[in-house]
């Protein structure tokens, strides 16, 4: 069995990949002092034989050229289509994924390194966050859903396009009498809700409750998040065999999700009525797209599949 050496202590953003590596390979922690500054960051640095790779799960706020120059492959969750830095030769795109609860693995793998390299308050916070995340589960295929739609989202200060798409989705779902809608925008802590008062929902759903309600949803919305990043929810939606209604991606996937096959793509919010009419009037149409999305997840996105993909690409 191949051994993968983890060279830093990443934060919970990297939990999916640590879990995948541990399922497929022999994983060992070996702190590399060259990468101390990346501890408790959304960056996982690893070595296989003589090759060093990085998995960067951060929002694409900036590109770490210095880290890129030190490694053999630079895997990114958000390989932006319109940013030349993300099109350098060693930058490799990743499949959708989401943070999961790996607290036992986290404690066993990093062991005393957690105390040696992290502040105590930081360690407690990471443990708390991981504990609140859902554990990974390969959900059974189940496409039959009631006409229930769940959608809850933050209001982003610098993302008016994202906010407006989500607000219009909330409005539409509330207005369609055929749908039983739950959710809305989570009020901002600073009180500035950008005139979305009518779309607010006072309930803030913990991650496990969010996952459980999403699983029941007839349709789920996917659109770009902060700085064009892909939403964490996408992978979980596909895993749960949900019908994904998606706006155009601003990032590159290793294998694109196909319109009207794996997901349903639109470009305008004015298309909401047409899509919902198709879904509600054609159960087989809904079933086929949801089923194909689940098949895409099973083939490419499981933790084990992604671990194998990363190691394979590292040596290409």
Query: What pLDDT digit, counting tens, does each position of 71-112 carry?
Result: 999 999 999 999 999 999 999 999 999 999 999 999 999 999
CATH number of this structure's domain 148-301, picked from the four choices 3.40.50.970, 1.10.150.120, 3.40.190.10, 3.40.50.2000 = 3.40.50.2000
Query: For residue range 13-41, what is the model confidence (pLDDT) as tens digits?
Result: 999 999 999 999 999 999 999 999 999 99
Question: How confident is the model at residue 226, as a pLDDT?
Answer: 82
Query: For residue range 152-181, what is the model confidence (pLDDT) as tens digits?
Result: 999 998 889 999 999 999 999 999 999 999
Rounded to whole angstroms, how far apart are CA atoms 39 and 52?
Answer: 16
Question: How confident is the model at residue 59, as a pLDDT?
Answer: 80
Indicate left, alpha or beta for 183 from its phi (over 0: left) and psi (-120 to 50: alpha).
Answer: left
pTM exceeds 0.85: yes
Nearest-5° Cα angle at 259, 257 to 260: 125
**Residue 16, Cβ density class (10 Å: 0-12 exposed, 13-18 middle, ≥19 buried):** buried
The 10 Å Cβ neighbour count of residue 83 is 16
Residue in 143, 169, 150 with CA at minimum distance from that of residue 273: 169
Tell me the domain boundaries of the chain: 3-135+305-314, 148-301
pLDDT score of 274 more than 80: yes
pLDDT score of 61 more than 90: no
Between the CA of residue 259 and those of 21, 229, 246, 263, what are the distances in Å? 31, 19, 9, 5
Handedness of CA 100, 105, 109, 113 (dihedral sign): positive
Residue 227: pLDDT band (50, 70, 90) is: confident
Q: Extract the tokens encoding 299.
A: 């083939």
Q: Are 145 and 216 in contact (CB under 8 A)?
A: yes
Residues of the chain with pLDDT > 70: what percent?
Answer: 100
């Amino acid at each position: 069995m191949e051994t993968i050496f983890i060279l830093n202590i990443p934060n919970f953003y990297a939990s999916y990949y640590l879990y995948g590596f541990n399922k497929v390979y022999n994983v060992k922690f070996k702190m590399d002092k060259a990468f101390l500054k990346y501890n408790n960051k959304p960056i996982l640095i690893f070595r296989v034989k003589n090759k060093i790779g990085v998995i960067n799960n951060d929002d694409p706020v900036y590109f770490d050229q210095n880290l890129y120059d030190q490694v053999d492959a630079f895997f990114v969750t958000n390989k932006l289509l319109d940013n030349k830095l993300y099109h350098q030769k060693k930058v490799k795109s990743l499949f959708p994924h989401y943070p999961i609860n790996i607290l036992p693995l986290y404690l066993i793998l990093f062991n005393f390194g957690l105390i040696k390299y992290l502040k105590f308050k930081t360690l407690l916070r990471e443990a708390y966050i991981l504990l609140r995340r859902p554990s990974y589960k390969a959900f059974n295929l189940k496409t039959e859903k009631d006409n229930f739609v769940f959608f809850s989202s933050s209001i982003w200060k610098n993302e008016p396009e994202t906010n407006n798409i989500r607000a219009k989705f909330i409005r539409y779902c509330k207005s369609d009498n055929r749908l039983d809608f739950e959710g809305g925008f989570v009020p901002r802590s600073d009180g500035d809700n950008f005139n979305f008062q009518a779309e607010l929902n006072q309930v803030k759903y913990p991650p496990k409750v969010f996952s459980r309600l999403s699983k029941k949803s007839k349709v789920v919305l996917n659109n770009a998040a902060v700085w064009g990043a892909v939403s964490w929810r996408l992978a979980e939606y596909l895993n749960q065999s949900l019908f994904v209604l998606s706006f155009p991606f601003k990032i590159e996937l290793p294998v694109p999700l196909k319109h009207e096959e794996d997901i349903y793509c639109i470009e305008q919010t004015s298309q909401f009525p047409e899509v919902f009419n198709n879904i509600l009037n054609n159960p087989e149409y809904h079933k086929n797209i949801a089923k194909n999305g689940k098949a895409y997840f099973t083939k490419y996105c499981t933790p084990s599949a992604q671990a194998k993909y990363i190691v394979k690409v590292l040596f290409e």
